Amino acid sequence: MLAKMVLFVPSFPQTPTEMSEIAEKVKAIIIDKLGVEASEVTPEASFTNDLGADSLDTVELIMEFEKEFNVSIPDDQAENIATVGQAISYLEEHAK
């Protein structure tokens, strides 16, 4: 449902304090799956080093992103998504 809503979000420049809808959703998924506090989910935060994810958690996160944003993230690109910020930029670029 939300993935469909995202389709119609017009892209306009963000102010530094305002997060895109994609970023909000990415953050919500991370909070839900990793059981962390919202304040910990900063753009620089690494899933494994800062947010306590193990290798399986990381796979699950990528799958959740694919499902939520209706994208397919190839393994070689998934390897480069290690921080919150990297996930957001990837999805802002590729989400349909």
3-class SS at 26?
helix
Query: H/E element holding 5?
Result: helix 2-7
Active site annotation includes 76: no
Residues 20 and 13: their CA atoms lie apart, in Å, by 9
Q: Give whichever of 64 and 92 is closer to other proteins, judged by the CB atom.
A: 64
**CB of 47: closest distance to other proteins in angstroms?**
13
The answer to whether 82 and 75 are in contact (CB under 8 A) is: no
Q: Give whichever of 34 and 91 is closer to other proteins, judged by the CB atom.
A: 34
Q: Give whichever of 24 and 52 is closer to other proteins, judged by the CB atom.
A: 52
**Looking at 32, 54, 75, 76, which residue is catalytic?**
54
Binding-site ranges for other proteins (CB under 8 A): 33-35, 56, 59-60, 63, 66-67
Query: What Å distances lie between residue 8 and 3, 11, 16, 40, 47, CA to CA?
Result: 9, 9, 22, 29, 29
Residues known to be catalytic: 54
